Amino acid sequence: MTSQVTSSFQGTADLPKWVSPAMLLAFFMGSFTLQVMLASSTEQNELNLIPVAVFGLVGYAVALYALSRFVEGRRKATDRLVTILVTAAFSLALIPLLSLAYTVVQNGAARFDAEFFTFSMRNIVGEGGGALHAIIGTLEITGIATLISVPIGIMAAIYLVEYGRGTIARLVTFFVDVMTGVPSIVAGLFAYALFVIFFGPGVRMGLGGAIALSVLMIPVVIRATEEMLKIVPNELREAAYALGVPKWLTVIKVVLPTALAGIATGVMISIARVIGETAPLLIIAGFTASMNYNPFDERMMTLPVFVYTSYANQGVDMQSYVDRAWAGALTLMLIVMVLNLVARLISKYFSPKG
């Protein structure tokens, strides 16, 4: 009997699409009005938005669950409840992020001007001045750190995935794990100790900062590359071997290109991870108000250190120091954002098509 067969597939009625958003709106409005009334009755002037959100959300969740359970049945009601919980958790995680971005932009905008990007802090005590020396320093030091870390990291990952067997591979993996957990200040001290051997105590040098950052960066690059190489299907390697391609050419021309998009993303993430490091640079690169283009000599300013010193050593004209600190933070955030965009473009451009 066809009619019966069809009916066995039929579920309970669905709530119309508009019900859920309408209820959300209604409960938040209700919660808002309630708080306004409460606030006026207790003669508080300020309206607290947190209870508005909490009451609105809880009321909405309970009411929608009950309604859905009644109309749509248990499975769909649970589904709706879980959806609400997950979305709420996500929004909760998003709030500090948005608030952070907002604060940085708001405070950073004051000094985010042409002078900030064209001047150093040389001979400046009050207003004005800029962070060009810090931007150059950050770009040079992070750039050198990348140049050191990426080849080492990728080659180590290739060794681990394609060649490593037995004790040595396990040892390398172990040290990579340990290095991942090295505190950044320790990396700074390590670089300092290393340079003291060659240049004597009190050494300050941009290159030292790059070495310290490399110590932090290499394990991240290794891990990211390792994961990407592992997901290259073994069939592709075998296909190349079966064509009489030697192993090293297979790695260079088949495995690496297939994993390139993921590796590029991993490298960008590792750069973003170290570009904001302050502690090690404070130790080995030091800080200065002047421009220094040469990473192999003398102190070199970097953006995170610029932000830190502007904030920590506020001069007479306090506000202009604080403004510069925020503008530096904003610049740093924008650089990281640009890096992320570049990573996306790279992975889009290089990922296997088909």
Partner 1 sequence: MSKRIELQKLNVYYSSFLAVEDVNMVIEPKAITAFIGPSGCGKSTLIRTLNRMHEVIPGARVEGQLLMDGEDVYGPDVDPVRVRRQVGMVFQRPNPFPTMSIKDNVLSGYKLNNSRMSKTEAEELTEKALVGANLWNEVKDRLDKPGSGLSGGQQQRLCIARAIAVEPDVILMDEPTSALDPISTAAIEDLAVELKEKFTVVIVTHNMQQASRISDMTAFFNIAGTGMPGKLIEYDRTEKIFSNPAEQQTEDYVSGRFG
Binding footprint of partner 1 on the chain (CB under 8 A): 165, 233, 235-236, 238-246, 249-250, 253-254, 257-258, 352-354
C-alpha–C-alpha distance, residues 279 and 190, integer Å: 12
Nearer to partner 1, 200 or 244 (CB): 244
- Minimum distance from residue 227 beta carbon to partner 1 (Å): 18
Residue pointed to by tokens 């955030």:
333
C-alpha–C-alpha distance, residues 45 and 67, integer Å: 36
- Minimum distance from residue 238 beta carbon to partner 1 (Å): 7
- Minimum distance from residue 165 beta carbon to partner 1 (Å): 7
C-alpha–C-alpha distance, residues 21 and 2, integer Å: 37
Nearer to partner 1, 1 or 243 (CB): 243
Nearer to partner 1, 165 or 348 (CB): 165
- Minimum distance from residue 26 beta carbon to partner 1 (Å): 50
- Residue 204 has a CB neighbour count (10 Å cut-off) of 20
Residues 65, 68, 74, 75, CA torsion sign:
negative
Find out whether 127 and 320 touch, Cβ atoms under 8 Å: yes
- Minimum distance from residue 163 beta carbon to partner 1 (Å): 11
C-alpha–C-alpha distance, residues 108 and 327, integer Å: 4
φ, ψ for residue 129 (rounded to 5)?
75, 175
Residue pointed to by tokens 């390590």:
190
Nearer to partner 1, 134 or 255 (CB): 255
Nearer to partner 1, 143 or 233 (CB): 233
